[in-house]
Chains A and B, each alone.
Chain A
Amino acid sequence: MARRPPSLQTRLLATLAVLLLVAAGVAAWALESLYRDLGLRARQDVLEAQVIALIASADLAGEGTLQPETLAEPRLATPGSGLYAEIADARGEVGWRSPSAVGSGLALEAAPPPGERVFQRLQLPDGTRLLALSLGIRWSLEDGSDRDFVIRAAESLEPWYDEVGRVRAWLLSASALMALLLLAGLAVALRIALRPLHRLEAEIGDIEAGRSELLGRSWPRELDGVTGNLNALLAGERKRLERYRTTLGNLAHSLKTPLAAMRSLIEHGRLDERRALAPHLDRMHGIVHHQLKRAVFGASGATVTDLPVQEPLEQLRGALQKVYADKRVDCALRVAADAAYPMDQGDFLELAGNLMDNAHKYCQRQVAVRATPWTSAEWRRPGLVLDVEDDGKGIPPAERRRVLERGARADETVAGQGIGLSVAREIATAYSGTVEIGESMIGGARVSVRLPGR
């Protein structure tokens, strides 16, 4: 069994979940980097302040060493406090080191020239990570000479790293929570958005079960096309079904009379009365012919694609040229290049074939067929006007209605001939079109079929 493709909801949610996780991760990472950046700068500022405080309190001691007179910062006096400082001379000899650095194994080597500073990140032997600042200074002695020193301060980054870790954990959990909430919200939104589809499913189920005939009105704009077409299809099918039912009923009823007559002829008639069966057979043929002609055309409407009419009209002309070869009919086709109509090809051939056949039958020498698009601002797809004219005797105004309706009733006797126009009218009606009979410029009848657009 082929696996069922995952539901639309699953597809959407899975895709969104991945996207959201990536987005949340990126957001957390960006926030964390920003936080680290700002934090590091703040640490640098602290170190600079420490160094400046040291300079402020420093003074030359004997043998040319520089050392602070007092320690304003108590952490410098506490061993292992995490804040360290030292002062070295130009040769790199450390003249003073803060008590906090005792036994820490601190080894700062940067020796920038006076006026410059160097930030460093290093690690103590016990693994403590430090940020260090070395600042070169020039000290003016009372005798007018200068001496260069380097003042260094370092601070443990461990508390800051701990903080960064906490912030990262918090950021991650916050973004994960946000992603989850968004996902849940989307799931709810999807359910709401897809509700019309569930409704559609339910309504189609109702139609299947025979509880309703058509889909309800008022659908979201996105579904309007589908539901509209579906309704048109359903209506078309229903019409067709009704036509079939009527046809079958008419057929059954109208065949009964000639059948009964034939039966009595067979049972009671003499052998030489066999010929009397013929008219009944003819009548039955007429009935079958007429009813089937009216029932077979498609007219499913919405599902049919545009049929360009040039080719079928040319085929019909070719066919009729053969059938009416003796008459040498001059049949002029004038088809606009874009003349097309959403119609079943068989229906169109039947419609145009009946009209053109009539025209060939009743004309003297000339038949003219014209197909033009019929446009209106209200239609997205244009309609079609088909005019078929001949130079025969024409159809008197009084006859016109009757000709179009001939054979419309089932119990009317109809020979094979003469129902062409009424068949054409029935096909046109099935496509919501009309058939009008008028007078032709070339002398005979003009039959105009107008099929509206949509």
Chain B
Amino acid sequence: MRLLVVEDEPALRETLAQQFRDAGFAVDLAADGIEGEYAGAEFPIDVAVVDLGLPGRSGLDAIRAWRTAGHAFPVLILTARDSWQEKVAGLDAGADDYVTKPFRFEEVLARVQALLRRSGGWSQPLLSSGAIELDTRSQEVRVDGEPVELTAFEYRLLEYLMLRAGQVVSKTELTEKLYEQDFERDSNTIEVFIGRLRRKLDPDGSRQPIETLRGRGYRIVRD
């Protein structure tokens, strides 16, 4: 999952970036509204966390600009002013949820995950496809109720495919979404990881949970 953080306070920005990376996100950073608006419009991000009080161009303006340009990724706003006027203004401009400052990272993460789930059409934190169950809160994966150990990258890959269950996801999209802006990209590594994931989820090859559509990408069946 590729996430954009737009926050002018450097300490908070870096902390958020680190915590989101630890949680398995590919993180892009922007320090003001202008940079943020550009990043949101140009990078293939899945979700944005935007501070409302930004220098240069306000967070509200950036969100409005994204929505006007047709970008539909979910936006979580961070606001220091805990008034309904501020919240309504943010949600009205096109944001999807809010967290007031100061906040615990766990809360921000939970909101972001909920937004991602929702944008993928899931209303519960528990995603499932056939025998596979993925809990976005605890980041646990089970097959037939049995826990499966995945590495961080494998989990991110599976979560992405599960969130977009029923859709074909190309290798390019996966590299874009799972790696950050400046990362060296090589779509072969995706194939390697898909292979490992298949072995872990389906050791005897009886279920084939991840379909390969030649030349187009991968798909997980939606229940």
Query: Which positions in A face B, CB cutoff 8 Å?
Result: 281, 285, 289, 292-293, 296, 312, 315-316, 318-319, 322-323, 325-326, 328, 345-346, 349-350, 352-354, 357, 416
Contacts and interface: CB of A to CB of B under 8 A. Distances in A.
B85 A349 contact: yes
B102 A346 contact: no
Given A325-B118, A349-B85, A350-B83, A319 B123 contact: no
B97 interface: yes
B84 A349 contact: yes
A353 B84 contact: yes
B92 interface: yes
Interface of B: 82-85, 87-88, 91-92, 95-98, 100, 102, 114, 118, 123-124
B85 A346 contact: yes
Contacts of B88: 312, 315-316, 319, 349, 353
B87 A319 contact: yes
Contacts of B124: 326
Nearest to A344: B85
Given A318-B92, A319-B87, A322-B96, A293 B114 contact: no
Nearest to A288: B102
B80 to A, nearest CB: 10
Contacts, number: 51
Contacts of A316: 84, 88
B118 A350 contact: no
Nearest to B117: A326
A361 to B, nearest CB: 14
Contacts of B84: 316, 319, 346, 349-350, 352-354, 357
Contacts of B97: 322-323
A192 B85 CA distance: 50
A274 to B, nearest CB: 15
Residue with the highest number of chain B CB atoms closer than 10 Å, among A296, A315, A322, A350: A322
Given A315-B88, A325-B118, A350-B85, A285 B102 contact: yes
Contact of B91 (A296, A312, A323): A323
B87 to A, nearest CB: 6
Contacts of A315: 88, 92
Given A319-B87, A322-B97, A323-B91, 19 more contacts: A289-B82, A289-B100, A292-B82, A296-B83, A312-B88, A315-B88, A318-B91, A319-B91, A322-B91, A323-B97, A325-B118, A326-B124, A346-B83, A346-B84, A349-B83, A349-B84, A349-B85, A349-B88, A354-B84
A326 B114 contact: yes
Nearest to A315: B88
Nearest to B114: A326
Contacts of A289: 82, 100
Contacts of B82: 289, 292-293
Contacts of B114: 326
B90 to A, nearest CB: 8
Contacts of B95: 322
Contacts of A346: 83-85
B91 A345 contact: no
Contacts of A354: 84
A296 B88 CA distance: 17
